[in-house]
Structure 1
Amino acid sequence: MLQHPPRNPIDLAQAFRSSVAVLASCFALSDAATADTFTIGIVPQFEPIKLAEIWSPILRELEEETGHTFEMVGSPRISEFEDGFIAGDFDFAYMNPYHFLVARKAQGYDALVRDGARELFGVLVVAKDSGIENVADLEGKTIAFPSPNALGAALLMRADLDRIHGLEYKQEYVSTHSSTYLNVALGQMDAGGGVMATLNRAEPQVRDRLRIIYETTRVPPHPFVAHQRIAPDVAEAVQTAFLKIADTTEGQELLARIPMRQAIAATSAEYDGLYALNLQNYWVD
């Protein structure tokens, strides 16, 4: 049974910060750096150990299909992941759609693959046994978000709460989607912003204590992208490998954990519609 500690934000990313060094050795995909070794940054929607468990077998499959080596670069916090792609630290990356707009402008990243079976949208959750029934009930309350620039969980959500509902509320940033859901489930926060994909992947004992009271506008889902420095033939090989993995039952099960239920080829132009949402007003540098 979940316990109820004192009301302080729970930061799972901080708790797992020390595990990043361990993951580098436990989940290393190659001991030797060669000309064919590429770094991959993954937006930290979940704690580092869970991300490594999800992505390590996928990267091994990409290695098998392409002959290249892929090393996952850990980012304990979303803000550190943002610093990484803005600086061009990642050869490849999996990021939210608005991150992609920023990454494309800053470093010329191009979209390769996305989920063709779903759209991305934010969800506002409250504790199942709370008396909060709608957005208006959150006036003056405290809402948890993974980070200021998490697209569905924070950017779209904060824009809607401001522009559509005119809500006045207190904000707390707790590093990951998992932390957000746990804080709300334990009554540490009155509500929390997330996305349906990560809510579905939350631990059952946490997810079952939450209910959704609001959903945001829908946008194309997270793309897997390549930096412009990556040779076109390498980028194409990685894209082809992703699609080949998605063409098998075993591969579909691996990708579903991201979650990416139906991997399809993506183009950068598919994300241009996000500019019309004017989310730059809510982006925090």
Structure 2
Amino acid sequence: MVCGLVLSASTNVFAETYSFGVVPQFEARKLARIWEPILSELETRTGFEFEILGAPRIPDFEEAFTNGDYDFAYMNPYHAILANDAQGYEPFIRDGARQLYGILVVREDSPYKSVQDLNGKEIAFPAPNALGASLMIRSDLSKAHGVAFKPNYVSTHSSAYLNVILKQVAAAGGVMGTFRSQPIEISEQLRVLYETARVPPHPISVHPRVPKHVREAVEAAFLDLWKSGYGREILEQVPILEAVPTSLKEYKPLSAMGLDEFIVVN
């Protein structure tokens, strides 16, 4: 089930309202702090209203976009493929300054020097179908390195990292973007043991029911927002370091990565 977090910055009671889903990489309060100022700026620039719809866990987010609950959604790259297959969602904005890749982290003081050292160990992941933080890592460990492991799905990236620090697991999957956003007292206790291949980062996708002029207005607003100092500051919290247009074509190669066998159906 999706849950509304906040937002109604526009004072125009006649404004059209569109739902905006956000993949729960972090806990709800942090996501709200990141996205409320962005959507407030979009309201000002487009004249439409946006309601943030949060999901407590990534599987709940997946169920929501599969059902078409979101008009717009910020999702991981593989979600973009799944959402297009299920509902026809189209990616239209992404970060043009970086690429997404998964990382495996261990405690800074751990004895692990290679992924082979994790054979037979328990590894925390934010969710089964998180692309960089779970699917790509689990695929690499199993197919490229022959490492057997016990997965522990802990709902968020932050929880995965914390499980390593608390010695509940030997390692955790994440992505460099969320790792760098952790408080220094967390990140300094962790060490990156492994990195996956690079892919295009999380896009913002739009449901086909959204009128073309609305999508175009939102796309223009994101691109314009990035051009301002304040806009860059708030977009960097996502992180989106450079807002650029995108399309499904950029994400189609993910379908050939052989990740389907690692998908966990809710």
TM-score (norm 1): 0.90
Aligned mates of 1:176, 1:250 — CA distance in 2: 28
Where in structure 2 are the equivalents of 1:175-254 lying within 5 Å?
175-254=155-234
Structure 1 residue 67 corresponds to structure 2 residue 47: yes
Residue 33 of structure 1 and its aligned partner are, at CA, apart by 7.5
Structure 1 residue 172 corresponds to structure 2 residue 152: yes
Aligned mates of 1:104, 1:204 — CA distance in 2: 37
Residue in structure 1 matched with residue 35 of structure 2 by the alignment: 55
Residue 268 of structure 1 and its aligned partner are, at CA, apart by 1.2
Aligned mates of 1:194, 1:72 — CA distance in 2: 24
C-alpha deviations, 1:197-232, integer Å up to 9, x for none? 000001211111000010001110000011000011
Query: Structure 2 regions of 5+ residues with no counterpart?
Result: none
Aligned mates of 2:182, 2:68 — CA distance in 1: 30
SS at match of 1:142: strand
Residue in structure 2 matched with residue 92 of structure 1 by the alignment: 72
Aligned mates of 2:9, 2:87 — CA distance in 1: 26
Is the contact made by 1:141 and 1:190 (CA closer than 8 Å) also made in structure 2? yes
Tell me which amino acid in the other structure corresponds to 1:139.
N
Is the contact made by 1:110 and 1:225 (CA closer than 8 Å) also made in structure 2? yes
Residue 34 of structure 1 and its aligned partner are, at CA, apart by 5.4
Match of 1:155 among 125, 128, 135: 135
Taking only aligned residues, the RMSD between alpha carbons, in angstroms, comes to 1.6
Where in structure 2 are the equivalents of 1:251-262 lying within 5 Å?
251-262=231-242
Aligned mates of 2:12, 2:65 — CA distance in 1: 24
Structure 1 residue 103 corresponds to structure 2 residue 47: no
Residue 30 of structure 1 and its aligned partner are, at CA, apart by 6.0
Structure 1 residue 141 corresponds to structure 2 residue 126: no
Residue 133 of structure 1 and its aligned partner are, at CA, apart by 1.0
Query: Structure 1 regions of 5+ residues with no counterpart?
Result: 1-19
Residue in structure 2 matched with residue 79 of structure 1 by the alignment: 59
Residue 31 of structure 1 and its aligned partner are, at CA, apart by 8.7
C-alpha deviations, 1:115-164, integer Å up to 9, x for none? 00001000000000111111011011110000000000000000000110
Aligned mates of 2:187, 2:53 — CA distance in 1: 28
SS at match of 1:221: coil
Q: How many residues align?
A: 264
